[in-house]
Amino acid sequence: MPEIPLLIAGLGNPGAEYARNRHNAGFIAVDVIHESYPFGPWRGRFSGLLSEGKLGGRKTYLLKPTTYMNDSGQSVGPAVRYFKLPSSAVVVMHDEIDLAAGKIRAKTGGGDAGHNGLRSITAAVGPDYRRVRIGVGHPGDKSRVHGHVLNNFSKADEQWLVPMLSAIAEAAPLLAEDDLIGFMNKVALLQNPPEKSGNLALPNKKDA
């Protein structure tokens, strides 16, 4: 029986004016995966941009819905049905204000926590897909959330954003192995490598 392909959908808003928004963290993460592995060119399909390639030897589709965030399900739903994918073969990457900037959490299923992109996908394919939550931090006041996510990542943000994106890309083959915990652990380890212990040689007796 052939292996079921994987679909990784990154969420965001289309257009150059949104490209560096915090709300586009999913788009940005999928772009870095696209650049890091042998994927084909982006092509317009399923009201989005689709690229085909492989992760860890598994056939993988990358999808960036161009429906605008709130209607992401209008892109993910048709792709899931066309490729006849179970929910377990779908990974959605999205920004998360309730996680500290640079933190990653991955889980299967659950609620949408007020995220309109997730709400749209859940309505289209059900709630049991996998989610990679990309922490972009909270502005501290509910009234400032809209502006926070629709503002660009700052220059200071790059100090955590670039290492995080690199870690997501390096750990991505674990998603193809359906290993969410391994993926999270590897991202965390790559972001915070253990300090190397000093390899101090003991002196020879004759030198002591």
Active site residues: 23
**What is the C-alpha separation between 184 and 17, in angstroms, rounded?**
31
**DSSP H helical ranges for 48-179:** 73-82, 116-125, 145-149, 158-171, 173-176
Residues 89, 4: contact at Cβ < 8 Å?
yes
94 phi and psi angles, rounded to 5 deg: -150, 160
Give the angle 161-66-160 at the CA atoms, nearest 5°.
5
Q: In what order do the strands lie in the sheet with 90-96?
A: 43-45, 48-55, 58-65, 6-10, 90-96, 130-135, 104-108
Within 13 Å of residue 117, how many CA atoms lie on the same side as its CB? 26
Burial class (CB in 10 A: 0-12, 13-18, 19+), 164: buried
Q: Token digits for 206?
A: 């004759």
**What is the C-alpha separation between 150 and 158, in angstroms, rounded?**
17
